[in-house]
Amino acid sequence: MNIGRVIGNIWATPKTESLIGQRMLFVQPMTFSGADVGGKIVALDTVDSGVGDTVIYVSSTEATIPFKPKMIPADATIVGVVDQVDHKNGSWKPHSR
């Protein structure tokens, strides 16, 4: 699992049938000290997160597990909203939205 922050929404009407009704969000991956790292990804959401939230997401095949037994082509899924991170260089709390 990785952490990131939700930075935007994306809408797509023509899509694979199994994705209908799934929310898609832009996520900027972050390091555990809170700095941005790597390119932005698009993730599905299972916890009603929104823009501004710091989240935990799973990537690769494991991203399909929250939707089982439904078969969903997901390679990143948000599975938690972060309240606080305790890091060796200090703790931090995400800004609440």
Q: Which of 1, 8, 31, 33 binds another protein (CB under 8 A)?
A: 8
81 makes contact with another protein (CB under 8 A): no
Among 3, 30, 55, 76, binds another protein (CB under 8 A): 76
Residue pair 97/54 in contact (Cβ under 8 Å)? The answer is no
DSSP of 53-93, one letter per residue?
Answer: -EEEEEEGGGGGGGGTTS----SEEEEEE-S-EEETTEEE-
Separation between Cα atoms, residue 16 and residue 31, nearest integer Å: 32
CA nearest neighbour of 53 among 83, 24, 76? 83
Q: Is 69 in the site for another protein (CB under 8 A)?
A: no
What's the min distance (Å) between Cβ of 24 and another protein? 7
Count residues contacting another protein (CB under 8 A)? 32
Q: Does residue 7 belong to the site contacting another protein (CB under 8 A)?
A: yes
88 secondary structure, DSSP code: T
* 82 is an interface residue for another protein by CB under 8 A: no
Tell me which residues touch another protein (CB under 8 A): 7-19, 24, 26, 39-44, 51, 60-61, 63-64, 71-76
